[in-house]
Amino acid sequence: MKTDDLIRAMAADTGRRSMPMDTAWRLAGVLAFVLAGAVFLVALGPRPDALASLETARFVFKFVVTLALVASAFALVRALARPGGGGGSLLAWLAVPPLLLVVAVALELFAVPASEWMTRLVGVNSQVCLTFIPLIGAAPLGVFLLALRHGAPTRPRLSGAVAGLVAGGLAAAFYAAHCPDDSPLFVATWYSLAIAGLAAVGALAAPLVARW
Amino acid sequence: MNGKNERENERELADLLRAAIAGDERSYALFLDRIAALVRAYARRKISHGGVDPEDVVQEVLLAIHLKRHTWMPEAAVMPWVYAIARFKLIDAFRRRGRRVEIDLDEIAETYAQPEIETVSDRDVGRALDTLAPGQRSVVAAISVEGRSIEETARKFGMKEAAVRVALHRGLAAIARRFGRD
């Protein structure tokens, strides 16, 4: 088949339309939220004093930092799914959640005596955190990898890692409502570790799943 | 080609692609023709020594553009999108042949300025068709090589037009996958 023949075949195929990327990402976002929420409610549910805790800065901060990660990583992964979609300027926003963490940790170290640092860092249920953030985030990661597959990521490994960050941030935001540990020392250690795990899985899976 | 022509070129390509996505076959064929010439010039510049056939890369890029045209944003520039796809597919083609390549993005501007007017090389990639399932192969061959319309093809094989469209689309997707594996 010559290139001209191929062009003729593709022109004849123009009637067949596929879902626009914006629609695909909106759909993926809603689906990921619903799936993460369902797993969270079935497996854990919010802690009894969740509503009352909204008055404490440490509890609220957990949502601020995880949702900041969701927002910045989601914007970036959408750009990465398009060839020439840039992403360079969006990459900088990804620094916001870690910076928030650094500030929060600094404030915590200032507010709490050194003798309590280790206790707060270890917390009461780091194992549960390391189990359930990946568990809640698994389905969202799958959904985001499928959205990447629908797109055309020219940097599949990076795209997969960022998809893992979105899934991890989403899962961590849900998990935060259950988790009794509110110290930034705990969040910076265990939440980060769990989210990094999802990012690693995304980076490994995307080159296979989102091949085009 | 000066800056003004470049802008003009970009505007025309965007118009053609928008019309194509809305379903206009003629605009789409025109668009792909022009893109093929630009990508051919790009591929020939980048492939200075054997191992990879530039026309293979051209076809692979065109197929990728076709199957992923929904990743183009209607308000975005066309050529950066096309070159990002071309660059990705070229690196992929080199990687499949076990080479390491560094592609200098700065050279893109230069490539842009010299679209190749040369006619398409007469190479035959019948092997791409050979890998298709028989039903898909005859449909794709009838439309591409024999230049039949969807309606004529449907009549020829006694198929419904919708079935011809599905076979054509799946055939093209299968050829694109095939490219990625050889």
- Condensed to tens digits (0 to 9), the pLDDT of residues A147-157 reads 999 999 999 99
Per the structure, the complete domain to which residue A193 belongs is given by 56-209
Instruction: Measure the CA–CA gap between B72 and A151, rounded to whole angstroms.
Output: 10
Q: Considering its fold, how many domains does chain A have in total?
A: 1
Is residue A32 in a domain? no
Which of B60, B38, B172, B168 is CA-nearest to residue B112?
B38
Q: How many residue pairs from chains A and B have C-beta atoms closer than 8 A?
A: 122
Q: Residue A73, class by beta-carbon neighbours within 10 Å (0-12 exposed, 13-18 middle, 19+ buried)?
A: buried
Clarify whether residues B83 and B171 are in a common domain.
no
Clarify whether residues B96 and B118 are in a common domain.
yes
Average pLDDT of chain B is 82
Contact A12 B70 (CB under 8 A): no
Least confident range from A39-48, B27-36, B95-104: namely B95-104
Residues of chain A contacting residue B144, judged by C-beta atoms under 8 Å apart: 1, 5-6, 8-9
* A9 to chain B: closest CA residue: B144
Per the structure, the complete domain to which residue B171 belongs is given by 124-182
Least confident range from A88-97, A149-158, B101-110, B163-172: namely B101-110
Instruction: Measure the CA–CA gap between A136 and B8, rounded to whole angstroms.
Output: 50
Clarify whether residues B79 and B132 are in a common domain.
no
Q: What letter does residue B121 receive in the DSSP assignment?
A: P
Instruction: Measure the CA–CA gap between A199 and A69, rounded to whole angstroms.
Output: 12
pLDDT value of residue B29:
95
Q: How is residue B23 written in tokens?
A: 């379903």
Portion 107-126 of B in contact with A at CB < 8 A: 120-126
Q: How is residue B122 written in tokens?
A: 């007469």
Contact B29 A212 (CB under 8 A): no
Is residue A41 in a domain? no
pLDDT value of residue B123:
46
Residues of chain B contacting residue A84, judged by C-beta atoms under 8 Å apart: 76-77, 80-81, 83-85
Is residue A51 in a domain? no
